Amino acid sequence: MEFVGVDVGKRKCVASKEAGDDYLSLAFENNAGGFEKLMAFCPPKAQIVMESTGHYGNCLMMKARNRGMTVKMVNAFSMSKFSKAVNRDTKTDKTDARQILMFAKINPRAFRVPTFSDLKPITRLRMETSSELSRTRLQIGSVMDQLFPELGHVFHDMGAVTAVRLLESHPTPKSICQLGLEDLTAFLKKHSRGQLGQERAEKLLDAAQNSFGLENSGLEIQLKVLLIRYKSLRRQRRLLDEQIKLLCPQNLLMSIPGMGPVFSAVVLAELGDEPRASADQIRGYAGLRPQIHQSGEFVATQKRMSKTGNRYLRTAFYMAAMSAVGNNPQFRALYQKKLEAGKRKKVALCHIASKLASITFGVLKNQKPFDEACLKASTA
């Protein structure tokens, strides 16, 4: 099997291939003309190997696949370790391409380009939007801890629809007191669709009348901007969820507890179409394997997750684990078992996430929906 190593840059790339006992190199631009030069440079049936370092190589990868070429990705972290192992003193684009070629020849586990190319940009943006939404909610809570610290006892979730509407129109204790009980009750009933009424209004009014909060116009402006950002991010997330469901309406991973349409789509987009040889490979790719530190008679008692893998995949499994523990009795029992064994809550959740990664491997390998009876047998 022949390989062509390619070091990708924003505007210029370098390719390297074997020529007997030596190597040949080609410098080409990252555009249509440069791509044609690369195709002419590649031997028949050669595999193109690139380092997974960013988006600059996406066009090159997909165009090559459309020409029938096999394109593989090598992990940037593994590539870095390999370069140090061979004691490379010189670092240029030409030597980088040659190192990628050498690495591909001795590493049969290089990843292929995923087929879910339409899905991955959307799922990644969705995960980033969700993270930004959570950060904005925390910032809103931080501002309200200064303007109206007692509000947290009335509304436990500052991101709830009724709470957001209240903060938009009446962000301070003074403005709430000016409403009065009757108008405040009507406001809460209207925006909560009848779920909140006079009892909550009385509690809110009492908190406002006895508030220890500050009167600060700067904080009020900050709150107003944060609320605009929060609502915008929520609309963006809904739009992305709709698009994900259109591109990936049904899949086998949705049969796994905690794996809804979004998280299952993230997993499929990140894993791609190249099956892993084992469940351990998926856990490793997601960064869900514990780090083991042992030397001589020393064995570390605290084991941390490696977190060297794909952060989008790791986050999807972790969030799915939280959902599975909250909604599935079998996973909840497994979670409680870990807590009773002395594990911390986050460690126990990481164990559930690792379990979900293993189940994902089984479902994808066998192409059959998840059977909960198998989980009962393994946890009995």
Tokens of 240: 């992305």
Closest of 96, 122, 9, 3 to residue 57, by C-alpha: 9
Half-sphere CA count of 171, side-chain side, radius 13 A: 22
Model confidence pLDDT, tens digit, residues 28-79 = 999 999 999 999 999 988 999 998 777 898 899 889 989 999 888 887 777 8
pLDDT of residue 114: 45
In the numeric block, the tokens 């009507």 are attached to 186
Q: What is the spatial distance between Cα 80 and Cα 74, in angstroms, rounded to a whole number?
A: 10
Are 5 and 99 within 8 A, CB to CB? yes
Tokens of 206: 């009492």
Tokens of 246: 């259109």
> Any bridge partners for residue 147, and if so which?
none
pLDDT, block means (10 residues), the chain with 380 residues? 92 94 94 96 92 85 90 81 76 90 76 62 95 96 96 91 94 94 95 94 96 95 97 97 90 93 93 73 85 59 68 95 95 95 92 94 91 66
pLDDT of residue 109: 58
DSSP structure class, residue 114: P
Are 274 and 256 within 8 A, CB to CB? no
Sequence-distant (6+) residues with CB within 8 A of 300 are 292, 293, 294
pLDDT of residue 274: 57
Query: Beta 47-52 vs 70-75: how paired, if at all?
Result: parallel
* Amino acid at residue number 212: F
pLDDT of residue 289: 77
Sequence-distant (6+) residues with CB within 8 A of 83 are 99
Name the pTM for this structure.
0.82
* Amino acid at residue number 1: M
pLDDT of residue 303: 61
Interior CA angle at 152 toward 151 and 158, to 5°?
Answer: 95
Are 187 and 167 within 8 A, CB to CB? no
Residue 231, H or E segment: helix 217-247
CATH architecture classification, 3-112: 2-Layer Sandwich (3.30)
Tokens of 229: 């950002």
Interior CA angle at 151 toward 147 and 153, to 5°?
Answer: 145
For domain 122-243, is the CATH number 3.40.50.280? no
Please give the full DSSP string across 32-66, using - where no structure is assigned: HHHHHHHHHHSPTTPEEEEEE--STTHHHHHHHHH
pLDDT of residue 248: 87
Half-sphere CA count of 313, side-chain side, radius 13 A: 22
Are 188 and 196 within 8 A, CB to CB? yes
Tokens of 273: 């179409």
The reply to whether 3-112 and 122-243 are identical in fold is no
Tokens of 268: 């499929």
Q: What is the spatial distance between Cα 277 and Cα 5, in angstroms, rounded to a whole number?
A: 24
Cα dihedral 299/303/307/313 (nearest 10): 130
CA 321 to each of CA 182, 316, 354, 379: distance values in angstroms, whole numbers, following the listed order: 44, 8, 9, 16
Q: What is the spatial distance between Cα 211 and Cα 71, in angstroms, rounded to a whole number?
A: 63
Q: What is the spatial distance between Cα 259 and Cα 328, in angstroms, rounded to a whole number?
A: 11
Sequence-distant (6+) residues with CB within 8 A of 205 are 176, 177, 180, 181, 184
Model confidence pLDDT, tens digit, residues 325-376 = 999 999 999 999 999 999 889 999 999 999 999 999 999 989 899 988 777 6
> What are the residue ranges spanned by the domains of the chain?
3-112, 122-243, 252-379
Query: What is the number of other CB atoms lying within 10 angstroms of the CB of residue 182?
Result: 10
